[in-house]
Amino acid sequence: MRRALVSAAAALAAFTASAEIEFDAGADLRVREEIFDNVPGLPGGGLASQSPYGKYTNRMRYRVRAWGEIKLEERLRIYTRLTDEFRWNIRPKTRSSRFPDEVFLDNLFIEGKGYFDGFLDFTVGRQDIMRLYGLEQIFQDGTPNDGSRSIFADMIRFTLNFTEESKLDVFGLYQHDDNHLRWGNGLSDHRSLMGLGGSGAEPERDEWGFGAVWSSDFSEDLPYQLYAIHKNVASYHRGGRKIPSARRETFGFKIVPRLDDEWSLQFEAAGQVGENGAGKSLYGWMSYAGVNWKDASESEIKPFASAGLLMLSGSKDTAETEGGSGAWDPMWSRSVRYSEIFLGGTHYGTCWWSNLYYAKAEAGIEFGAKHNLTLTSGPMFAAVNDGLGGGKGHYKGYLNGLHYNFPIMLADKSKGERFEIFGHIHAEHFCPGDYFVTDRPAWFIRWQIEFKF
């Protein structure tokens, strides 16, 4: 990947001598406070057990990013971004990420659009993969143990636009568990980025994969996607024990029938097959069915609602086998998409969503200029009782959430302004069920202010 970027940069240097060049740059600062208590974690042990869960925690988090881009002849763009996040751990006090912690290369890619009469688009380099291709069950956060500092992957992507309604995306990506493109202190050196294997795991579990995604419409109101993806994970060491490598093939589809201007349905399903380095067969499955509604009137106040059932397969040998031989592998969809409070109870590693039946209802309202209030509620169940929760049942518990996005200062883009300030408040409440040994309700609250320059 590095050699490819160097070669591409050298070729572009010659081209830019006669090209029309536009340069832009900016920065943002994010300040957060997070307070939580009684998070269930994994009291039953296993690969992902982590001792801090269940304890009262209060921490401040500061993230600063600086970016720059060069546009060449409107179709070609070079983009880069540097990021640092450091924390003030109020309680318990730790020195795990003291300022300056580490500055790392968050993005560096070359993007081209509309080549060969609009047939080819491409992006090459380190880039964000959040909600890539709209497949949120497959792509969310490439480096989940990064503390939400980054959502990057080293990636090559090509899009073949056959018609306005049909396209084929092909990609290849590599995820380094140990970030070498960084500058920092000894406390942050060799920090694992993947969040797998729990505490004590060596940062050597690299991941790589490739795949294809076909997106099209049966008709104007019936868009669908088909995908086939291969994933490899390297072996690594934890507590002196070598965990074998693994490979998986994932095949799936997503279809979103639009009933009218306000109502739509959503159906997704995928299956996995594979094998680990010890010769053990791996498999898993995922399905989702839901309904969505959003007010399509001209009113400035727009309510919305959705309801759905997510099902991710589980496996009783999760604690012994890497992720469980029959458990769903979330691919690169490891994030806090479903819950901040429950990310430590995800069986295998941080945000490793698997072995879960989740019936979720959501309702909210958009109003004013970029105000958004969302309420969520629903029960969680284990597909298989793997014993990691310590209890004897399948009922994980009931999760409620609230999220409010609000602007503090908006820029007038017509006047060339760009300085903006945004805020949000996020809260969750989780009542554990008989899957866990604890019956203490857990809670999480966060406030955030973000400055964009």
| Distance separating alpha carbons of residues 343 and 341, to the nearest angstrom | 6
pLDDT digits (tens, 9 = 90+) for 71-86: 988 899 999 999 998 8
The residue ranges of DSSP E strands in 5-128, in sequence order, are 21-37, 57-72, 76-91, 102-114, 120-128
Q: What average pLDDT does range 166-184 have in this prediction?
A: 89
Using the predicted structure, report yes or no on whether residue 449 has a pLDDT greater than 90.
Answer: yes
- Domain containing 149: what range? 2-452
Question: Average pLDDT for residues 174-189, to the nearest whole number?
Answer: 80
Pick the more confident residue, 175 or 288. 288
Q: Are 435 and 410 in contact (CB under 8 A)?
A: no
Q: State residue 142's pLDDT score.
A: 78
Cβ-based burial of 430 (10 A; exposed 0-12, middle 13-18, buried ≥19): buried
The SS3 of residue 343 is helix
In degrees and rounded to multiples of 5, residue 187 shows phi and psi of -70, -30
Token pair 């309202």 in the structure block, residue: 365
Q: What is the CATH number of the domain that holds 402?
A: 2.40.160.100
Residue with structure tokens 């769903």?
328
From the CA atom positions of the chain, what is the Rg in Å? 22
- Alpha-carbon distances, residue 89 vs 95, 97, 186, 207, 422 (angstroms): 8, 9, 18, 30, 24
How many helices and strands (H and E) does the chain possess? 2, 23
Does residue 96 register a pLDDT over 70? Answer: no
* Closest of 378, 340, 360 to residue 40, by C-alpha: 340
Residue 151: name the closest of 85, 211, 222, 100 by CA: 85
pLDDT, position 257? 96
Give me the torsion for CA of 176, 348, 46, 44, rounded to 10°: 150
Alpha-carbon 172 to chain mean position: 17
Provide the percentage of residues in the chain whose pLDDT is more than 90: 57
What's the structural domain count of the chain?
1
pLDDT, mean of residues 309-326: 83
Report the candidate in 179, 260, 252 with the shortest Cα–Cα distance to residue 211.
Answer: 252
User: What percentage of residues in the chain have a pLDDT greater than 70?
Assistant: 87
- Alpha-carbon distance 305 to 143, whole Å? 30
pTM: 0.89
User: CA-CA distances (angstroms) from residue 23 to 65, 69, 72, 113, 287?
Assistant: 17, 6, 9, 18, 44
Tokens of 126: 């380190």
Q: Retrieve residue 64's tokens.
A: 């600063």
pLDDT at 320 over 70: no
pLDDT at residue 259, rounded to an integer: 95
Distances in Å between the alpha carbon of 239 and those of 46, 201, 213, 243? 12, 7, 38, 10
pLDDT level of residue 328 (50, 70, 90 thresholds): very high
**Bigger pLDDT: 253 or 189?**
253
